[in-house]
Every structure is written in C-alpha cells, then in structure tokens.
Amino acid sequence: MKLREPSGDLSLWNDGWYRFAAPLPSPNFGARPSGAEIDLIVLHCISLPPGQYGGDDVQRLFTNQLDWNAHPYFKTIQGVQVSSHFYIRRNGELQQFVSANQRAWHAGVSSYRGRSDCNDDSIGIELEGVETSRFEAAQYETLAGLCAALVQRYPIAHIAGHQHVAPGRKNDPGSGFDWQLLQQMLGLTDKYFPAGVLST
C-alpha cells in the first residue's frame, strides 16, 4: 500500500483514521491486497429509510446493528454486510467507519481505470441523500476538505461515483451531485474526474 509522505500536520491521520471524523468502527472490512495503490475515491449516497434524513439507521447498517424489523424497506436488504470509509450527514458532520488503510465493503462488483474490484484500492465516501436530489452546501464543504486531505496522504488520481465504477447497477451519487462544484473547490484538473461529468 502506497502512502505519500506527510507534508503538513502529521496529526491529521492516525493509522488511517482522520482527525476530523467521528470514529464509529465497523466490523465490515478487511486487509487490502499486497501492493494495493489507493488511487481512487468513490462517492456514494445513502439514506435509510430511503429519503429520510437525520436518523442513525445508516450507522446501524454499517456496524451490523440495524433492526431489520424497524421498517418494511429494511427487509429488502436484510443480512447485507456493508461499510464505507466515511459518511457525511446533511449538516456536514463527518463520521468514519473503516481505516483508510483498510479495505471497506462499499463498491461491490466494480471496475474503473482498467482495474476490477474497486474495493481493493479505493476510499468510499457516502453522502446522506438520494440519487435524484441535491446535496447540501455543508456536505460539499466537508467533502472537499476530506478529499483534499486524502489527496495529500494517498496517491489519489481519480474521483468517481458509484455510478461510474458499477454502471447499470448503481446510479449514485446521481444527477443531484455537482461535480463541477467539487472540482472548483478542490482545484484539481479534469483528468481526476469521469468523462462527461464536467461542463465545458
């Protein structure tokens, strides 16, 4: 696994845990393959139940504590074991479930930049939301800060959506996500982003 030499505040990271994220450790993770190069950030969106914000059901899902009987929708996902590295709530609050040095279970069957199984060498970030709605300014602020910290710490070369690494199977973060705004906030060149998401 490749890390960039820290070039600033060394206390930003502690064994893959980000200083500005509230830790909620998930059991759903594993070791990355030997020699994995963490060069991809995958953006997702999620809310549980779908379209309902502010609760703690996403956190319960990622930590295997969700009550499958608490809502009819939960029966449709009963038994799944998933996680992301980070979760950004509507108010911009940042939570972390898996060390960025470890392999979280967020992308599923996937392929991007000529490689399959994106979980092996990517960082997964979930935004509280749904695919067809816009995200909050506070979420973009947190996301940009997090992505900048990841770019400084790991050899990130690509930022894509779940819809780009699993096309036809996943559609998130969806039409409501403003890729142009994220690019402007990060100051990164077009080559970091999927083809077609940036206006010309």
Over residues 46-60, the pLDDT tens digits come to 999 999 999 999 999
In the DSSP assignment, the letter for residue 56 is S
Q: In which residue ranges of the chain is pLDDT below 50?
A: none
Cα–Cα nearest to 39, from 129, 114, 108, 105:
114
| Per-residue CA distances from 198 to 91, 100, 127, 134, 178 (Å) | 25, 27, 20, 16, 9
Phi and psi at 121, nearest 5°, equal -140, 35
- What are the residue boundaries of the structural domains of the chain, listed by start? 10-192
Domain 10-192: CATH superfamily, name plus number: Peptidoglycan recognition protein-like (3.40.80.10)
Count of Cβ atoms closer than 10 Å to residue 11 Cβ? 8
Instruction: Report the pLDDT value the prediction gives residue 4, as an integer from 0 to 100.
Output: 66
Global pTM? 0.95
Say which amino acid occupies 104: A
Active site residues: 126
